[in-house]
A and B are shown apart, each in its own frame.
Chain A
Amino acid sequence: MNIKEGKINNSQLMFLVASFMLGTSTFIHFMDTIAFHDSWLAILTAFVICIPFVLCYSALAKRFQGKDLIQINDIIYGSFLGKIISILYIVYFFLLLSLNLKGLGDFYVGYVMPETPKPVFIIIFALVCAYTVGHGLEPMARISHLTVTYAIFVITGTFLLLYSEVDFTNFLPIFELPIKDFIQSVHIVAAIPFCEVMVFLMVMPSLNNFGEVNKYMLLGFALGALCLLVISVRDTSVLGTSSFISNNAAYQTVRIIEIGEFFTRIEIVVAMGITICLFIKICVLYYITLASIAQLLKLKSYKTLIIPIGGIAIIIAFIAYDSIVSHNYSAKNYHVFYTIPYQFIIPPVSLLIAKLRRLPKRKGRELI
């Protein structure tokens, strides 16, 4: 499989983005412990703040049509500095991949099957991801709309079933939060679920049509953000203050559903939704890591990298952090700052330099 073999279309990109963001929904709950019942406000604010950045990513992809992030770095920063930036990016992608794999294991051990050891989940999940990535970008893009449809179905379904439990007074009082905490929670939402879509700079080169990439990127982003917002509103309105005690509010919320003594304990439906959205997310991250390494090393195909990179990612997923608490602590205090250059500094600067230097230059039809 060539690195850029397999084309996706705009709507597939949109669903991939939305699915990618939904995959994160289970990992950002620690944000609630800062923002409490104002987390929906944090999500809304972060959404507005992130729009220009998302547009910046898609503008970059549109400007350098068919060039991925590694090539763009080479063009803008020259081959030496560009390579260094690319390596930093690869480390970032790889870290995201391992941490998400770890998050999946944590979720299953914590909520679904507590007696099974974590490596079982991580290894099997990684194997299926490796199989998918081996087929290139197309299969995961083709099933992404199914995962988004399922997620939307579950979110609206549980909201309706929980109608009797919904209490909107749980949101009161609004804006009780100190401004410092509010900014921190906005930053967490912006950095972890939202601006992680920056990794799509490695996916967008495979688009078959760059005309409307801005629109579809933004649509996907809005769809994902809307789902996260609805999830947050549902959890807070149903659980109220107890929402912040549990580590996975979505799961806790759905457990409450009890209709006619038969329709109970349907949280496995939520577990399925989390798993398949996370599947898309991890597959995308896996693909991106492989594609960027292959591009950096100028390999023709990334197939030889699938097993070694997957293996290392699995090992890091085993050993990273002792517990969920330390993971959350690190995500809250270090990870969000670690991502700042990758998400908020380098892409806008790249776009600015490209505009100033009138890049990319054209040689005939080829971009150089």
Chain B
Amino acid sequence: MFNYLKKIIHYKKAITKHTNNLDDEKDQGVSLTSHLDENLNMLKNILGNSNDIIIKLLNIGNNHDYKGALVYIDGLVDKTMLYESIMRPLQNEMSCSKDCSNLTVLDRINERLLSSTNIDNVSKIKLLIDNILTGNTVLLLDGSNQALAIPLQKWEKRSIEQPVTESVVRGPHQGFTETISTNITLLRRIIKNPDLRMESYTIGDQTNTNVCIVYMKDIVNPKLITEINTRLDRIKTDAILESGYIEAFIEDAPYSIFATVGNCEKPDKVASKILEGRAAIFVDGSPFVLTVPLLFIENFQSTEDYYSRPYFSSMTRLLRFVSYFITILSPGIYVALTTYHQELIPTQLLFTMAAGQYGIPFPSAIETLIMLIIFDILREAGIRLPKPVGSAVSIVGALVLGESAVSAGLISPFMVIIVALTAISSFVISSQTDSAAILRYFFLLLAGLFGAFGLIMGFLFILVYLASLRSFGTPYLLPISPLSMSGMKDTFIRAPIWAMLKRPKTIGKYNLNRQTESYMKPTENNRNINDE
């Protein structure tokens, strides 16, 4: 057994070594030659006959002295710009005396003719291919072993819209899009500070997806950035299609039902997290930006808490805690009470419940289980349906399954209330809906088997589990456990902004002071500003 495992590990090591070597050779790459035809042939060999790859031969200069070629991918390039700022100047305005060598021609083109910025000189075929695939236009010139990569990217993309997952009443309405450059710009526009740093990665052997770590240099814990770097470096996969892929590769507890990497869709939320000392990971192709480290408490915080008055936000935050407990515990508590601890129900209520349950063929644990499964089916059916059909689902769900099941005597009316309450509460904590759905069944099972004892044991188990989790070195349950009194200002209640002088103790410890006490009572002069 162990020998077998050893063999597998050895084999895997050998394979990774081999592929690493291959990568190295590729990185060395083949250089461009000074013959245009040879270069184009090489490109054609690598890129194949795909019809979206355009190779346009042209004669450069007003005397048509030089042969050249533009290579780009149709659909990734701004065609008007291509014509206006490259083709026309190259063909008509270029004047060059015969004595210029071919190499200097390329430099002159670069210096004088092209108005586009960020032009790179490329001499390796692999870099050239990378440039073409990311949407740059490549200019090759006969007689030169270099090429120009001109960024003229433009493609169809979604405009900036209000995010679906986190809509707010007060606060900025814009959300991230699928394009990484747009997303980073959105963040730059909020934090105008030279300390906002970014580190770029390309991950995925097949997809070559851009991944970018963003953080504030003087706030973040440097060890956090090195940790993220090592974890990202470890990723050896062929495709990154969404930030969820990155999350799966870098999270601390891969088997946990609780997410230890956060995600959000709103620039202002990411900005506030970065300013607390966290790091954000942008992934091209996904509007969901990852933030690490994640604390359990962040699931209960919303950006709007900070934009509205503290009393109301404190109340809503407490409400979120209550709804979380309702959504995971209420089916379990109902089952425990009706099955094992009827004596704990007040007498009047007990009579009502008993009357409702009269004639129900199932024990209450089975009844609850059936109703919860039906609810989950309805929810799953409702998410991906087109809107007109969605209303049909809700009618079937509410009327047929709810009303008729009760009147047919299959389930008790009390059960419907419990499931409805569970369902509604589960939507309050949108980011924990997934874990709550599983925990609900877990507690239901325990309550059905062992009553209140099972519930208490399950609760302790989950508590210990959460207390043992860490997200990038930060205890997951902070600031509740280990207890941090300064963190309590932003846990169950939300203190006024001017009172939160410090950043979270563990995450922002390298630059703890957020602000100095700047709230002032109105001075005597100002107080009577309108009095004569």
Residues of A within 8 A of B (CB): 9, 11-12, 108, 112-113, 116, 120-121, 124-125, 128, 131-132, 135, 138-140, 142-143, 145-146, 261-262, 264-266, 268, 271-272, 275-276, 279
Contact = CB atoms under 8 A, between A and B. Distances in A.
A143 B346 contact: no
B299 to A, nearest CB: 18
Interface in B448-477: 450-454, 456-457, 460-461, 463-465, 467-468, 475, 477
A271 B457 CA distance: 12
Contacts of A272: 452, 456
21 contacts: A9-B482, A12-B482, A108-B453, A112-B453, A113-B340, A113-B450, A113-B451, A120-B450, A124-B453, A124-B454, A128-B460, A131-B461, A135-B464, A143-B463, A146-B481, A261-B347, A261-B348, A262-B346, A262-B348, A268-B452, A275-B460
B343 interface: yes
Contacts of B100: none
B344 A135 contact: no
B453 A128 contact: no
Interface residues of B, number: 28
Contact of A142 (B348, B456, B461, B477): B477
Contacts of A145: 481, 483
B468 A135 contact: yes
Contacts of A121: 453
Contacts of B463: 143, 146
Contact of B468 (A139, A146, A271, A279): A139
Interface in B238-282: none
A139 B464 contact: yes
A128 B451 contact: no
Nearest to B344: A265
A143 B481 contact: yes
Question: Which of B341, B349, B465, B482: most chain A CB closer than 10 A?
Answer: B482
B480 interface: yes
B481 to A, nearest CB: 4
Across the A-B interface, the 10 shortest Cβ-Cβ residue pairs = A142-B481, A139-B467, A135-B468, A142-B467, A139-B468, A132-B464, A139-B464, A262-B346, A265-B344, A275-B456
Given A138-B467, A268-B341, A276-B456, A128 B477 contact: no
A12 to B, nearest CB: 7
Contacts of B347: 261
Interface of B: 340-341, 343-344, 346-349, 450-454, 456-457, 460-461, 463-465, 467-468, 475, 477, 480-483
B458 to A, nearest CB: 9
B153 to A, nearest CB: 50
Given A142-B475, A143-B463, A279-B460, 14 more contacts: A11-B483, A108-B453, A112-B453, A121-B453, A124-B457, A128-B457, A128-B460, A131-B464, A135-B464, A138-B468, A261-B348, A262-B349, A265-B346, A275-B456
Contacts of B454: 124
A124 B464 contact: no
A112 B477 CA distance: 31
Given A125-B457, A265-B343, A116 B481 contact: no
A279 B457 CA distance: 9
A145 to B, nearest CB: 5
A254 to B, nearest CB: 12
Given A131-B464, A132-B464, A140-B464, A146 B341 contact: no
Contacts of B344: 265-266, 268
A142 B482 contact: yes
Contacts of A262: 346, 348-349
Contacts of B457: 124-125, 128
A116 B452 CA distance: 12
Contact of A112 (B346, B452, B461, B475): B452
Contacts of B343: 265
A128 B464 contact: yes
Contacts of A112: 341, 451-453
Contact of A143 (B451, B452, B453, B464): B464
A310 to B, nearest CB: 15
A331 to B, nearest CB: 24
A131 B454 CA distance: 15
Nearest to A140: B464
A266 to B, nearest CB: 8
A151 B376 CA distance: 37
Nearest to A146: B481
Contacts of B467: 138-139, 142-143
Nearest to B455: A272
A108 B465 CA distance: 24
A142 B340 CA distance: 32
Contacts of A275: 453, 456, 460
Contacts of A12: 482
Contacts of B465: 131
A142 to B, nearest CB: 4
A105 B440 CA distance: 26
A139 B483 CA distance: 12
A243 to B, nearest CB: 22
A327 to B, nearest CB: 20
Contact of B460 (A138, A142, A266, A276): A276
Given A268-B344, A279-B460, A116 B450 contact: yes
A13 B116 CA distance: 66
Nearest to B349: A262
A197 B120 CA distance: 72
A284 B355 CA distance: 47
B451 A146 contact: no
Nearest to A115: B340
Contacts of B349: 262
Contacts of B348: 261-262
Determine which residue in B341, B453, B465, B481 has the highest number of CB atoms from chain A within 10 A of its CB, and name it: B453
Contacts of A9: 482
Nearest to A12: B482
Contacts of A120: 450
A121 B480 CA distance: 29
Contacts of B340: 113
A276 B340 CA distance: 20
A108 B477 CA distance: 30
B257 to A, nearest CB: 15
Nearest to A269: B344
Contacts of A264: 346
